[in-house]
Amino acid sequence: YSRAYEDTMKRIKSEPSAVLVLKTISWIALIKRPLLTEELRYALAVESRNETFDPDGLTEIEVILSACAGLITIERQTHLVRFIHYT
């Protein structure tokens, strides 16, 4: 798994959406409870420098999923976001 994740992270970091992906996986990894898709969208729209919400910064969940290159998934019935694999 280590090599596969290294390759994926290398690919992600070379993409224009790298900041979005890194923020997304940070939220999922560090949150203390399951995260809903809408919660993730709103969390990503908050500007960390000044902690203000940017309503224009809401990213569609499909864009987030695509940018994360298969690292995350959404449970369709519950709308929970999680890593695709427990590792």
pLDDT in tens, 38-75: 999 999 988 777 767 767 889 999 999 999 888 899 99
pLDDT tens-place string over residues 20-45 = 999 999 999 999 998 999 999 999 98
Give the per-residue pLDDT at 82: 94
CA distance 36 to 41: 9
CA distance 52 to 29: 22
Give the per-residue pLDDT at 55: 79
Domain that holds residue 69: 1-83
CA distance 7 to 71: 12
Number of domains forming the structure of the chain: 1
CA distance 45 to 35: 15
CA distance 67 to 82: 15
